[in-house]
Structure 1
């Protein structure tokens, strides 16, 4: 069985390793789809391979040079970049990215390779004659939700993007862009379907696989983007009220894998491995060579905020000091038995509920959700604010809570129309940079993707 899994993943790797989605074609040494989906064991192994691919290299990998959490934190105002990289990382941090940027091209190609991977699983599961309806639903629903999450980030980063659920080579190689609004409409349809197919109960006690509540969180994100406040409130309420979850009161326990506040997390490749977040941001007794927390972010915290003490670490060298992210503590492989990479946690539904309520002029109901986050950090509860001040405080509090986590800062600033505010700390910022350029090599290979995004 292990050999079947490895052969399948090798075949998919050959597909996703292509330079672009339009060139994807089935290699002759790939196991046929029917073979892979002849049993729930091999079908779930294929799905596990997709989860592993997300963990090892994707927009939602915990940290790294090609991930949303790191890149968008430096693109906005959370991280300062010290790398000497000549392949595009420093340009992104300085808001100087162009259509030839290799980092952006890598993100695009990796994401669309994983879209193809998900499409292969969805097709194989839905057309299987061997799987039960329950097995088909679970596998299809999880793959559909993963694909939707990838598309969500692509749409936020690039605006109008090609959307496909097809495995047809000729069709994919000539894709045109889908309007960003239409992409969101399609994602609502897809995520709604995923929520119907998968269950609330986790199929693993460590919450390393997606469930219905994760789908409902994604739907709430989409409703916020479309300013459908009542729908966002209703959807997020199903998560907050669920007996599956409990708000974590101890700031030091937020990133421990056993928390009942966790909706979804990804486990490291091997037992005892450190998370990407713990390893990537670590440096000590030296000047930084990759990323540090931006002084503007550090200075935004109240001196009494426990997140400074617990989630940051100061590094001093040669009479200079920097702060690095320290949300994950165990960086040495073999010593980590209590940390996974937490992707969705209950703090996000609390913020979504607070925003959905204040947008409906229901401040008394909204305040407890914002104050729960503040009070856990050792801050005093807010009592009364104007609606505008409430939104500003919510945005600032989300920055302090989710710094370096999966592009939250960029997504929030963009959605709320505040991205231009980073001009105060980013010298090269221009309004058109709310989206990235489409990779030049993609436009050359498929002219149907033209025109290029404005400004590039």
Structure 2
């Protein structure tokens, strides 16, 4: 049986009234029969692009601040300035199934997956769309499904793999092993790469030269595919995908003098961003609104870099420390540091920043790690030094020293990608321990000194109690 008879555009398109880039595709005002939703280019485009609006409409969502602050606290990046029981569970890596944020990290990706599954089914059945629009939209939908599953599998391990619209099957599906989830992620991204165009779409126009970088294109699929290959130890494939993006002249590392502009909307380094939706009072990103103190001189940063960890991780002269770390000194002489990659909290009109999801610097670091894994230590060093040079640091001469290259790679990923989509946390939980102990991770090496109650099984979050209560099959072995 079909999961839907009607697509509710009030849900799919909520929050897009302030989003001019999506409005030009035409917004239906009520429910439209599924057969009509994909009967022309405009309504089909609205069906898919509506997902982006839902992803970034409100604060404390999976697709904005929660995927920034929670894994940063699980790792060794920053902590919350005040007492919060919910945050303390992440800080102490002792998250309970009842945690208020846990359910959001679970349910929202599955909501988006359900929507894109509807879209994939509708697009595949439609014979009314122009071939280019149909191809682009199918690529976007499969990219989004892969994107959601990437974070589900990295947060929870094995998860239900839902790729259809049969509600009875979906509601009782058990967990699939991580290997199967990654296989689906990679299959979807390979399909997406074939379907998407090189340019960024504008409304129903695809493969355009001037579109904003707010809908995935072929390079975005390659970028996420490179990461998925890296995470599944397919290093040669990861290197190839990252190289394709690095060699794409659409993207450039911002020069040192402009490093503070990396997170502006449509920056040359941006591969995919999520557009700002709620821009009341000049608000730009939810990340900037949450993180940046109201008063940059005497304000209280809510999220503070942890001393003796990220607080002190930057080398002297690192332009990232100067441009991406905010600093406020109290009357007592205590200096608090906080993430300051986004600069706009309020009163920036027109909007200057979008939420950065994929950017070019990560591709250099993916390729560096992939080369390291293939014992191409000189190639890894070259990519590491490209990132260091942009940060106004001297290049390293590592002389093919395996251990030195590994530590340099870890350092550059730490100070380049901090406070972005959980990179540091996912690195600690996926890298093996330097001790060589079987089953131990880099998290086991680093986190016990910061978190005395650290337990190795904390590299995965528990399933939300509401999910388990509604589907007992989630408790079964897989």
Same fold (TM over 0.5): yes
CA–CA distance in 2 between the matches of 1:146 and 1:351?
A: 23
Partner of residue 335, structure 1: 349
CA–CA distance in 1 between the matches of 2:70 and 2:350?
A: 26
Partner of residue 458, structure 2: 433
Partner of residue 55, structure 1: 56
CA–CA distance in 2 between the matches of 1:166 and 1:394?
A: 39
The DSSP-based 3-state class of the residue aligned with 2:284 is: coil
Aligned length, in residue pairs? 430
CA–CA distance in 2 between the matches of 1:357 and 1:305?
A: 25
Residues 145-294 of structure 1 aligned to structure 2 (within 5 Å)? 145-204=143-202, 205-250=211-256, 251-269=259-277, 273-283=283-293, 284=295, 288=300, 290-294=302-306
Q: Give yes or no for contact 2:327–2:338 (8 Å, CA) kept in 1.
A: yes
Matched, 1:74 2:80: no
Partner of residue 121, structure 2: 123
What's the CA shift string for 1:13-71, capped at 9, x where partnerless?
7xxxxxxxxxxxxxxx84321122121111111222101112235866342xxx21111
Q: Give yes or no for contact 1:81–1:290 (8 Å, CA) kept in 2.
A: yes
CA–CA distance in 2 between the matches of 1:12 and 1:99?
A: 31
What's the CA shift string for 1:354-404, capped at 9, x where partnerless?
111122222222222111111111211001151122112111111101111
Q: Give yes or no for contact 1:156–1:435 (8 Å, CA) kept in 2.
A: yes
CA–CA distance in 1 between the matches of 2:261 and 2:331?
A: 33
Choose 336-345 or 382-391, whichever is displaced more: 336-345
Matched, 1:392 2:400: no
Q: Give yes or no for contact 1:12–1:117 (8 Å, CA) kept in 2.
A: no
Partner of residue 84, structure 1: 83
**With structure 1 as the length reference, what TM-score do the two structures score?**
0.89
Distance change (3 Å), C-alpha of 1:333 and 1:168:
farther
Matched, 1:371 2:385: yes
**With structure 2 as the length reference, what TM-score do the two structures score?**
0.85
Q: Displacement, 1:427? A: 2.4
What's the CA shift string for 1:280-324, capped at 9, x where partnerless?
101246674731122210211112111111111112234132111
The DSSP-based 3-state class of the residue aligned with 2:32 is: coil
Q: Give yes or no for contact 1:281–1:292 (8 Å, CA) kept in 2.
A: no
How big is the alpha-carbon RMSD for the aligned residues of Structure 1 and Structure 2? Answer: 2.3
What's the CA shift string for 1:245-283, capped at 9, x where partnerless?
222223222122242221111221157541122211012
CA–CA distance in 2 between the matches of 1:150 and 1:263?
A: 17
Choose 108-117 or 129-138, whichever is displaced more: 129-138
CA–CA distance in 2 between the matches of 1:303 and 1:384?
A: 19
CA–CA distance in 1 between the matches of 2:156 and 2:357?
A: 22
Q: Give yes or no for contact 1:437–1:452 (8 Å, CA) kept in 2.
A: no
Q: Give yes or no for contact 1:11–1:30 (8 Å, CA) kept in 2.
A: no
Partner of residue 38, structure 1: 39
Q: Displacement, 1:430? A: 0.8
Q: Displacement, 1:243? A: 2.1
- Consecutive unaligned residues of structure 1, counting only runs of 5 or more, are 14-28
CA–CA distance in 2 between the matches of 1:321 and 1:438?
A: 38
Distance change (3 Å), C-alpha of 1:180 and 1:59:
farther
Choose 76-85 or 52-61, whichever is displaced more: 52-61
Q: Give yes or no for contact 1:160–1:177 (8 Å, CA) kept in 2.
A: yes
Distance change (3 Å), C-alpha of 1:89 and 1:451:
farther
What's the CA shift string for 1:67-114, capped at 9, x where partnerless?
21111011111111234334x222112212112222111211111111
Q: Give yes or no for contact 1:273–1:336 (8 Å, CA) kept in 2.
A: no
The DSSP-based 3-state class of the residue aligned with 2:327 is: strand
CA–CA distance in 2 between the matches of 1:281 and 1:429?
A: 26
Partner of residue 435, structure 2: none
Partner of residue 316, structure 2: 303
Q: Give yes or no for contact 1:7–1:30 (8 Å, CA) kept in 2.
A: yes
Q: Give yes or no for contact 2:94–2:458 (8 Å, CA) kept in 1.
A: no
CA–CA distance in 1 between the matches of 2:387 and 2:372?
A: 16
Partner of residue 22, structure 1: none
CA–CA distance in 1 between the matches of 2:234 and 2:61?
A: 26
